Structures are given as C-alpha cells and as structure tokens.
Structure 1
Amino acid sequence: LRPDGRFMVRACMRYHPPLARQVLRQMTAAGVRRIIGLPLYPHYSIATTGSSFSDLHRAAGVIEPAPAIVEIRSWPREPLYINCLARRVREGLARFSGPVQVVYSAHSLPKKFIAEGDPYVRELETTIQALEEKTGQPGRLCYQSRSGPVEWLEPSTPDMLHRLADQGCENILMVPISFVSDHVETLYEIDMLYRDMAHEMGMRLESTRALNDDPEFIAALHDLVLNAASPPSTGSVPPNNKIEITK
C-alpha cells in the first residue's frame, strides 16, 4: 500500500492481543482519523465479521473524537481471491491420478443464524459457484468445528466423509473454504483428524494449501482496501464485495 497513499496497516484480533482497543488507541494517537476494517473472513456472518466489527465500534466509541470506520463486510467473489483459490484447487487435483471428489469444508454455524437471515451459507455458495466456473470441477459443501447442544449446519464434515465412503469414493480433495490462513482447523482437524478418518474408510484425503501470504491473495486484500479508501463519488464496489461506511 505504500505507493498508493498514506496508510498505517495494523492487525488486531478478536480474542487475543493485540485487541482492537489497543490498536485503535495507537493508531488514533498517531493521527489516524479513518479506519478501514478488513476482516479476514471472506464470507459475512454475524458470529464472525459481525462480532469483529461490533468490537471495533466499541473500541472506537471510547476515543474522542471517534474515528470514522469503513467496513469491508465480505468479499466472496473478489476476482484475485477466486483466482488464488482456483489455483490451489488445480494444484491439489494434480496430486491425484484417478477421479477426485472436491469437498469444501467451512466453519459451521448454528442453524438458527441462517434462519434469522445470516448470509453466510449464501456467500459460501457464491464463492463455490465462482470456483466451479473457473475450474470446471464440481464440489460438495460441508461444515466442521461445531460444538455445543444446538442444531448446526449440515452435513458435518465427518458425515460427508461417511457418505462419500458409502458411495465408493476413493479420492478426496478437501478445500478449507472459509479459512484464508493455516491454524488448528486446517493443520489439525483437516490434515490430521479428517485425513485419518478418511484413511480408515479406505479413502485418500488431501487438502489444498491455505492462502496465507500468497502474493495473489495479498493483491486481493490490497485491492479491497484501495476500493474502500476511494471517495464514494469516484470509487466503485465490485459485485459481491460489500463495503459500508459508518461513523
């Protein structure tokens, strides 16, 4: 972003330092009066992006004068993001010699969120549709990491594995569709638990590499920020990328 203007780039976390209140104090003390919030959740949910922006607004609310906040709410079809994911899928498919079933595994949510209008599943499907248009490879969506006694989105990832085994599937390429970086849900759940589970059912499971610091993914984030930084009269919002300006 350095060639594109005067930007101070800082990371903050929802549940671990550096927290939003700490980062916003530092930024406003340095003279920043406009904050562009870029969540690393491509798909909006009140439980993830919504919670993060609520935390950001609480942090801004105790600062005088409060900075303006530009929310990049979701980006399920951002072109460079889709290109990067499609490249990961093609790389993964090349590791197999026979037919492969692509499985998109997303973080689960309670069903009641979707019933109340949360767009999470719809935005996941938007990304998957864009990927299938790029790769020509159909996939199946399932959900991981559920906990607690409420009803969660279905099918769960373990249920999907059982279903595919019953259908005679031999090879699975698992795409961690709602995760952009490696963490416990990719490195442990997918690469260890689900891989071992699939192996016990007679299937081979490989996963696509996380986007992490891939240059094309970083370029996607760059474009999202520049678009959000553009004055409303001249800037344009790409289709399926949602930007909201609040004070």
Structure 2
Amino acid sequence: MERFAVLLLNMGGPDSLDAVEPFLYNLFSDHDIIEIPKLIQKPVAFVISKFRAKKTRHYYELMGGKSPQREQTEMQAKALQKLLPEKFIVKVAMRYWKPFIEEAVKEALQEGAKGFILLPMYPQYSKTTTGSSFNEFDRVYSKLGLNLPVVKIKSYHNHPLYIRAMVENILSSVKKPEEYFFLFTAHSLPVKVIERGDPYKDQTEETVRLIMEHFPKVEYALGYQSKVGPTQWLKPETEELLKKLITSGKKKIVLIPVSFTCEHSETLYELDYLYYNLAKELGVEEFIRVPTLKDHPTYIELLKELTLSAFQELERQPSDSAYTQSKS
C-alpha cells in the first residue's frame, strides 16, 4: 500500500528554558521574517537572540518553563491520524524548533511516504508563517533530491468548518454572548509586508466577519498583538484597544485569539498575563479568554476534509513529478 505524508506545519516553541536562546536565533535567522542582507542575517540573529533571551526566558518561566505548542500540535496530529485512512502518515513539522521540518520529512520517507501534503496550523496565509514553512520544505526537498508529488494547502481562513469550530469554541466559553464585547486578537505584521500584497490582514478580517455573522447582536473589534521592533506594524494594537474599551465603559469583555490554533507565549503570556492583569487594573467586571482550538473535534474534522481534498490533487500528479501545487 502506497503511503502519503501529511505534515502539520507550525512555528514550534522552546521545550525548555535552555532552548529559548537557540529558538530565538532560528526565528530571527529567517529571512521571511527579518528582511536584512543575507550576508549579515545570522550575525544579526545571534545579537538579537542574545539581547532578547533573558526577557523572553522570563515569559516562559511564567508559562511553566516551556512552550506547550509541540504537545498540542502532536495532539492535533494524533486526532487527525485517527480520522484518516491508513495510507496517510501524519507528522508534526516545526519551523524553528524540534521536530524540525527536515526531521519530519526524513521520518515520513523512512515510513514509505510517496508524496506530501503540507497542512499549516495557520488558518490565514502570510509569507512570514505559512510561506516561510513552505520555503523551508522546498529547501529540504531540494537538499534530499526528492522527486515526489506535493500539495501545499495555502489557507482555510473562510472555510465553513473553520468558522464553525471557532463559533463552537466561543460558545463553550460564553453562555450569554450578547452581554459581552468581543475583542478579537491576531498576531501583528509589519505594514510593509501587507503593502507588498500579503493577504494576511484581509483574510483575518474576513474570518472575524464570518464568525460575527453568528453573533449579530454582539459588538466587536479586531486588534493586533506581538509587535517587535521600531517599524510600523498593523493597528489597532490589541492592548490599546483593550484600554479604550474598558475606559469607555465596556465592563464585560471576551478576548478571542483568531490567528492561533495552539497555545504559546502570545496567548499564555500576552493574553493571560499581560492583558488579564491590565483589564483587572482598569476595573473590568468580567474578562473571558477563549482558548485556542487545539484538538477541537470540528477543527480536526476540517483538517481531515482539507487532507482528503488535497489528496485528490496529489493523485492527479504524475508519481515521478516534482511539481508542487498550492491549494487555497
């Protein structure tokens, strides 16, 4: 029986406090994130990671000493594997920490993979997330001299099952939605990335709009978080929005991470520590943070549907073809 690999692409996170600095080095060495001359990319990444490591290490100390992203992505992989036929091999493939994309590809090949489906854990496409993982896969593919069919799932930000999973997840945390203000939060990006045609902002806004069609009586806003560096990033910033909402009289707020499917520092530190404490200081009455999807049954059903649809594309490719297909 021919077998095919499904790579769940995610960022990855430090699995110990000692891993924080090398994780940051890998992150800032990525030209898809920091666009500086490649000749000095790694030296600059070394300096940045040294400079930021102590502060970032503190974040992870508050989170219990590591990121839970690997374990949660493995939960997603295990849940998806149960729903798929035996011919599929589901592997976790991280961009900046173990298990790296190359490791996942090699393991899949050892288990007999005759083709690859790249399935990002990022619902909205950006060149800095999904695009970066695709580029790394392409480098590994070339390095290993592969000549196998590949399908790349680009995004699923408006897929009905994704929207349903988000709505169900919100309703499991909020019993009377109409009594609250919904504050959506997404990871920010430099404005220059969007101006070059990156669809992330438009896709994120569409996701929020489709979710809110299920809550017609609820007020809402979308903010962006996790800005790094002095350049102009997407606005409004989630933190500033939160301040304005509470000081203007909004006392019941639901915080909804919309671009994350696993917990990590952006949710466990920024949302649950920084924003929670800020909201309490400003006198909020109720502050509910909706968890990320993780292995929510409807989300896993979506991953199954995306995989089976992508496999139809894979079957149409010649078995000896190195052609790669992007599928939105």
Same fold (TM over 0.5): yes
- Relative to structure 1, the CA distance from residue 138 to residue 70 in structure 2 (aligned partners, 3 Å threshold; closer, same or farther) is farther
Selected match of 1:17 from 98, 105, 120: 98
| 1:146 equivalent in structure 2 | 227
Moved more, 49-58 or 30-39: 30-39
Selected match of 1:217 from 299, 303, 309: 299
Checking the alignment, whether the CA contact within 8 Å between 1:191 and 1:206 is kept in structure 2 is no
Partners in 1 of 2:112 and 2:315 — Cα distance? 25
CA deviations over 1:150-209 (Å, ceiling 9, x no partner): 111111111101211232111110000000112222122111210110111111321112
Q: How many residues align?
A: 236
CA deviations over 1:32-53 (Å, ceiling 9, x no partner): 2211000100000010010010
Checking the alignment, whether the CA contact within 8 Å between 2:161 and 2:299 is kept in structure 1 is yes
Selected match of 1:192 from 273, 278, 288: 273
SS at match of 1:36: strand
Q: Which runs of 5+ in 1 are unaligned?
A: 235-242
Aligned residues with identical type, % of pairs: 33
Partners in 2 of 1:233 and 1:134 — Cα distance? 37
Runs of 4+ with >3 A deviation: 1-5, 231-234
| 1:237 equivalent in structure 2 | none
* 1:233 Cα offset (Å): 9.1
Partners in 2 of 1:34 and 1:7 — Cα distance? 10
| 1:73 equivalent in structure 2 | 154
Partners in 1 of 2:247 and 2:165 — Cα distance? 32
| 1:118 equivalent in structure 2 | 198
SS at match of 1:46: coil
| 1:102 equivalent in structure 2 | 182
Checking the alignment, whether the CA contact within 8 Å between 2:151 and 2:313 is kept in structure 1 is no
Checking the alignment, whether the CA contact within 8 Å between 2:115 and 2:314 is kept in structure 1 is no
SS at match of 2:224: strand
| 2:164 equivalent in structure 1 | 83
Checking the alignment, whether the CA contact within 8 Å between 1:176 and 1:186 is kept in structure 2 is yes
| 2:37 equivalent in structure 1 | none
SS at match of 1:211: coil
Give, as a single letter, the amino acid of the residue that structure 1 aligns with 2:283: G
SS at match of 1:134: coil
Checking the alignment, whether the CA contact within 8 Å between 2:150 and 2:314 is kept in structure 1 is no
SS at match of 1:173: strand
Partners in 1 of 2:95 and 2:195 — Cα distance? 25
Partners in 2 of 1:107 and 1:180 — Cα distance? 12
SS at match of 1:64: coil
* 1:3 Cα offset (Å): 5.3
Selected match of 1:230 from 287, 312, 316: 312
Partners in 2 of 1:169 and 1:154 — Cα distance? 20
Selected match of 1:207 from 277, 280, 289: 289
* 1:66 Cα offset (Å): 3.0
Q: Which runs of 5+ in 2 are unaligned?
A: 1-80, 317-324
* 1:99 Cα offset (Å): 2.9
CA deviations over 1:85-104 (Å, ceiling 9, x no partner): 101222333277x8311000
1:132 aligns with 2:201: no
Give, as a single letter, the amino acid of the residue that structure 1 aligns with 2:181: Q
Partners in 1 of 2:240 and 2:250 — Cα distance? 14
Moved more, 197-206 or 52-61: 197-206
Moved more, 29-38 or 170-179: 29-38
Partners in 2 of 1:91 and 1:14 — Cα distance? 31
SS at match of 1:180: coil
SS at match of 2:165: helix
- Relative to structure 1, the CA distance from residue 110 to residue 8 in structure 2 (aligned partners, 3 Å threshold; closer, same or farther) is same
| 2:113 equivalent in structure 1 | 32
| 1:238 equivalent in structure 2 | none
- Relative to structure 1, the CA distance from residue 197 to residue 95 in structure 2 (aligned partners, 3 Å threshold; closer, same or farther) is farther
SS at match of 1:23: helix
